[in-house]
Amino acid sequence: MKISRLTIITILTLCVAIISGCAQDSSVDDYEESQSSKGELERVGTVNGFDYYQREGVIYRSQAETPDKAKIILKLKISDYPEEISYAKFELGSFGDITALKQRVGSGTRGQSYTTLLFPDGKMQEFDFDVATYISGDKYDVVLGYNASYYGAVGMKGFFEFRETGKNAFRQFGNEDYWYGIFRQEHKDRSISMGYASELALYGDNAYLIATPVSTENPGIYRANLRTGKFERMTEGNVTNFSVKDGTIICKEIDGENIELKID
């Protein structure tokens, strides 16, 4: 029986997905093992006291300046488009003491982003999008992110997820009536401006972010009550970004006035 190249690639992709673990939450212990394959490690960078290296689709980490003791921390996903086996592009980042291991499989509208967050206690959490903002509060942990594979006529896809502090499972807030963390606006000349809005504030049960109603395409600041699920607009005019100072949201409406909103 003749097996096509595409079939082999598909099988390899499935195998790597199984090996790397598709579960939402895991821990360093699930990945760490001593390096055994030959070849020189390529240094990626240093985050939160650890050096990170890459070799043949595998990410290693070690205490600073000890590459001989590097251990496997993550196995990259495989892209099978366009019918070539290639590993995901890897990027290293952080949100304070939380390390972000980011992958991009493919490119353009056919691509897919993934982020694995590595917490100080060794726990790991995977998201099937690019995490842009992570905030941890007294009651909730909140994530805002995007996936460029959703570019197109309807715009970009934003992800707004949260969990109770100390719990493992994140869940999506809201529904398909809004673009979360996305500003999209149609102008009088019928041109459209759109982009990411990664601003996020968290106070008690409430999270504040930029969102755009799908039906009207007028972006603004919204308050999301994570306990009740209530989602309400805070600004009348169109707003695409904001800052927070001393418990006050500061923003400027497009073609409008400067606004200050007291938050609670």
Give me the pLDDT at residue 196, please. Answer: 85
- What's the gap between Cα 187 and its chain centre? 29
In angstroms, the CA 101 to CA 152 distance is 26
Conformational region of residue 9, where left means phi above 0, alpha means psi within -120 to 50, and beta covers everything else: alpha
**What domain range includes position 139?**
129-264
Q: Identify whether 81 is part of a domain.
A: no
Closest CA to 170 of 226, 209, 225: 226
Share of the chain above pLDDT 90, in %: 50
What's the predicted TM-score (pTM) here? 0.80
Q: Identify whether 18 is part of a domain.
A: no
CATH code, domain carrying 154: 2.40.128
For the stretch 16-57, pLDDT in tens is 333 333 336 777 766 665 554 557 899 999 999 999 999 999
Per DSSP, the three-state class of 245 is strand
Q: What is the mean pLDDT of residues 156-175?
A: 89
In angstroms, the CA 179 to CA 28 distance is 33
The yes-or-no verdict on residue 237 having pLDDT over 50 is yes
Q: How is residue 249 written in tokens?
A: 């949201």
Domain count, the chain: 1
Q: Identify whether 70 is part of a domain.
A: no
More confident residue, 194 or 57: 57
Find where tokens 């999301």 sit.
224
Give me the pLDDT at residue 80, please. Answer: 66
Q: Identify whether 64 is part of a domain.
A: no
Find where tokens 């980011």 sit.
102
Q: Angle CA(106)–CA(108)–CA(111) in degrees, nearest 5?
A: 35
Q: What is the mean pLDDT of residues 64-91?
A: 84
Q: Identify whether 73 is part of a domain.
A: no
Q: Identify whether 102 is part of a domain.
A: no
Give me the pLDDT at residue 162, please. Answer: 97
The yes-or-no verdict on residue 15 having pLDDT over 50 is no
For the stretch 113-154, pLDDT in tens is 999 999 999 999 999 999 999 999 999 999 999 886 544 434
Q: Identify whether 210 is part of a domain.
A: yes
Give me the pLDDT at residue 245, please. Answer: 92
